[in-house]
Every structure is written in C-alpha cells, then in structure tokens.
C-alpha cells in the first residue's frame, strides 16, 4: 500500500478539507484529490464525501482510519529502525544473570535514550562472526578461544577483570574460611554443569584447573542457577565458582557462602569486541561509558590464561 496516499488520506481527515490538507502537505489540491482517488481505487470504496462544510469520511473511511494511522506508525518505526543514529544497538552477553548484563543495565540507566537489544549467542566464535557480519554491534567475551586471533577489522578492549569466588554450602570444608588460595583447591571437585565444551568459558576454567590441580566437573544436566544453588547448599563436597559481581539470591536457610580466592586471584577477563568500521553512534557512547567505568587492568597478584591477555587481529 502506498504510504504517501495513506498519509494524504489521514491529513485530509485531520484537516477536514482538501485545500487545507494540500497546504499542510505543500502540494496542490489536485494532487491531494489524485492521491485519495488512487487509494479509493485500490481499496474499492469511497473514503470521503464533499459538501459545503468540507470533506467528511464515509462509513468506509471511518472504518479505515484507525488502521491507516497504525499503518503510518508502523512505517515510521520501520524507517527509524535503520535511520542513522536511531537503530537499536544490539549487544551480546554470555548470560543475562551475569555481571556484564548488569553493566549494560548501568549503561541503559545512564543513557536511557539509547535503544538496546540484548542477545545471548552460544560462544565467542558465533559472537565474533556476528560482529563481523554486522548482525550484532558488539559482544562481551573473554576475547576468543586459545590459539585464535580476532578477524581483520574486529577490535577488542578490556572492560572488566572480574575476580572469582568459591561458592559452597555451609557443610563444605572451606565454608568458614575468610579467603582461600587456588592451591588449596588442588584435588578438589568444582561442579560447573553449565560449562559446554568448545566455549571460551569452558576453555578458561579448564586452564584454571590445570594450573592449580583441581577438577572441573561439568556433568549435568544443567537445570539453571536455582537447582545448582540447591545442590551446592546440601553438599559437603561440591563447590562452584561465581564472579565477584554476579548477582545471586538464595533462601536464607541455604546458608551458602561466597569465599574470595587470593594469592593469586583468578580473574575472568571480559572484553568488548566490535567491528572497527561499525558507524553506530551509540557504540562509541557505550565504549566511552565502559572506559570511564573501568579502573584499568588488574596488575600483579592475579591469574588469567595467557590467551586472554594479548588482543591481536589477524594480519592482512
């Protein structure tokens, strides 16, 4: 359906006269009549009757009017969705309950005029491919998989080193510790059923376990965070890892404990990854916001896999 003809019809209804509608549209009355006639032919009905008082909608015109207004609103939304500076900024996060989703919420509160679409892709390979293809504007990841580099034109910057905590029930041997070292976990079992083979987070925790001699148990099924908390609360041997700023809520009678890990502190390094030729103005705003909020990469006393430190794109 011709958007211009529908807009002309609505303008005539609002103005009440063809002459006044022509003035509002900056066209001639003859052009208004032609557009309305074309629309009437397409619909197969008469939309107006004219008398001394101007143009009045017929019963068919009255029936068509609310749909015409909705049609014009939909057309405007369609145009706005791709208009420079107006398109929704699409950002990928590993999980909506994790700390990076909280950082995005902070960005949205600071910039409520920026429309955000938060998505969760499977792993870093899928996320980087989507950045490169332009189907998302940015992703938060631990860079990429070991031994791989970012594709040409794709850039990354560190935005947050998140310390890990050991998460236990009240009967676990470390439940009453104020802090532990990674070496104290040697030989212990860390249960992480959400660790999917082939993902960057599974690679991170496999490297962490190898470095300090404990076992990552990913045997599932993974029913989500609440069943995980229930199981940890009732176990004297199972523990898991959570990020320092991962928001978790559990029943008071669970007695769960979050125990900092130190000497060294394992950190999960979150990077923002984007395409260097992406022109979306809100992407630059997001990068400035994260840079201002980020205190800088943590120095000595931390542990992270070697493959998460350098961020080098592929060579030409």
| pLDDT tens column, 280-289 | 989 999 999 9
At 299 the pLDDT is 67
Which is more confidently placed, 257 or 227?
257
Task: Kindly state the average pLDDT of the residues 152-162.
Answer: 89
Q: How far is residue 92's CA from residue 149's CA, in Å, rounded to a whole number? A: 19
Q: How confident is the model at residue 147 (pLDDT cuts 50, 70, 90)?
A: low
> ∠278-270-211 over CA atoms, to 5°?
140
Tell me how far apart the alpha carbons of residues 266 and 92 are, in angstroms, rounded to a whole number: 24
Q: Determine if the peptide bond prior to 221 is cis (ω within 30°).
A: yes
On the question of pLDDT at 122 being above 90, the answer is no
Token pair 């959400």 in the structure block, residue:
194
Residue 25 in contact with residue 11, Cβ under 8 Å?
yes
Apex CA 157: angle with CA 155 and CA 161, to 5°?
Answer: 145
Quote the CA–CA distance of 295 and 268 in Å, as a whole number: 15
CATH of 89-160+271-301, one of 3.40.50.2300, 3.40.50.720, 3.40.190.10, 3.40.30.10: 3.40.190.10
Q: Which CATH number fits domain 162-265: 3.40.50.1820, 1.25.40.10, 3.30.43.10, 3.40.190.10?
A: 3.40.190.10
Which pLDDT band holds residue 310 (cuts at 50, 70, 90)?
Answer: very low
pLDDT digits (tens, 9 = 90+) for 67-113: 999 999 888 878 766 666 668 899 998 876 667 777 888 899 999 98
Chain Cα centroid distance, residue 86 = 17
pLDDT at 314: 42
- Rounded mean pLDDT of the chain? 88
The angle at the Cα of 213, spanning 190 to 141, to the nearest 5 degrees, equals 60
Question: Phi first, then psi: what are they for 234, rounded to 5°?
Answer: -95, -5
Position 9 confidence tier, pLDDT thresholds 50, 70, 90: very high
Alpha helices by DSSP H, listed for the chain, are: 3-15, 18-25, 29-43, 59-80, 99-110, 124-133, 200-212, 225-234, 281-293
Confidence check: pLDDT of 312 > 70:
no
Domains of the chain: which residue ranges?
3-80, 89-160+271-301, 162-265
Q: Give the per-residue pLDDT at 167.
A: 96
pLDDT tens-digit readout, 200-231: 889 999 999 999 999 999 987 778 888 888 99
Measured distance between the N- and C-terminal CA atoms of the chain, rounded to whole angstroms: 48
Q: What is the reported pLDDT for 106?
A: 87
- Domain 3-80 falls under CATH 1.10.10.10: yes
Cα-based torsion angle of the residue sequence 245, 248, 249, 250 in order, rounded to the nearest 10 degrees: -130
Q: Cα(174)–Cα(180) distance, rounded to whole angstroms?
A: 8
Q: 297: pLDDT confidence band, cut at 50, 70 and 90?
A: low
Domains 89-160+271-301 and 162-265 share a fold: yes
């Amino acid at each position: 359906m011709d958007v211009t003809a529908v807009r002309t019809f609505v303008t005539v209804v609002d103005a009440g006269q063809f002459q006044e509608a022509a003035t509002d549209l900056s066209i001639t009355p003859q052009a208004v009549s032609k557009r309305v006639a074309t629309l009437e032919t397409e619909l197969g009905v008469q939309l107006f009757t004219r008398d001394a008082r101007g143009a009045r909608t017929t019963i068919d015109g009255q029936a068509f009017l609310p749909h015409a207004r909705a049609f014009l609103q939909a057309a405007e939304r369609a145009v706005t969705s791709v208009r420079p500076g107006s398109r929704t900024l699409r950002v990928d996060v590993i999980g909506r309950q994790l700390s990076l989703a909280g950082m995005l919420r902070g960005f949205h509160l600071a910039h409520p005029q920026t429309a955000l679409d938060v998505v969760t892709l499977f792993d870093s390979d899928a996320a980087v491919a989507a950045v490169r293809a332009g189907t998302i504007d940015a992703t938060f990841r631990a860079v990429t998989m070991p031994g791989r580099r970012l594709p040409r034109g794709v850039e990354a910057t560190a935005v947050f080193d998140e310390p890990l905590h050991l998460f236990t029930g009240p009967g676990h041997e470390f439940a009453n510790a104020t802090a532990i070292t990674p070496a104290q976990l040697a030989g212990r079992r860390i249960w992480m059923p959400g660790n999917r083979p082939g993902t960057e987070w599974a690679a991170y925790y496999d490297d962490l376990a190898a470095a300090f001699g404990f076992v990552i148990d990913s045997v599932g099924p993974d029913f989500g965070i609440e069943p995980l908390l229930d199981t940890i609360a009732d176990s004297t041997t199972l523990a898991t890892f959570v990020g320092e700023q991962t928001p978790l809520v559990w029943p008071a009678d669970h007695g769960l404990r979050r125990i900092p890990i130190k000497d060294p502190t394992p950190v999960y390094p979150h990077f923002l990854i984007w395409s260097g030729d992406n022109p979306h103005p809100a992407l630059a705003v997001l990068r400035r916001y994260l840079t201002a909020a980020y205190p800088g990469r943590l120095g000595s006393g931390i542990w992270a896999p070697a493959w998460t430190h350098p961020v080098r794109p592929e060579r030409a």
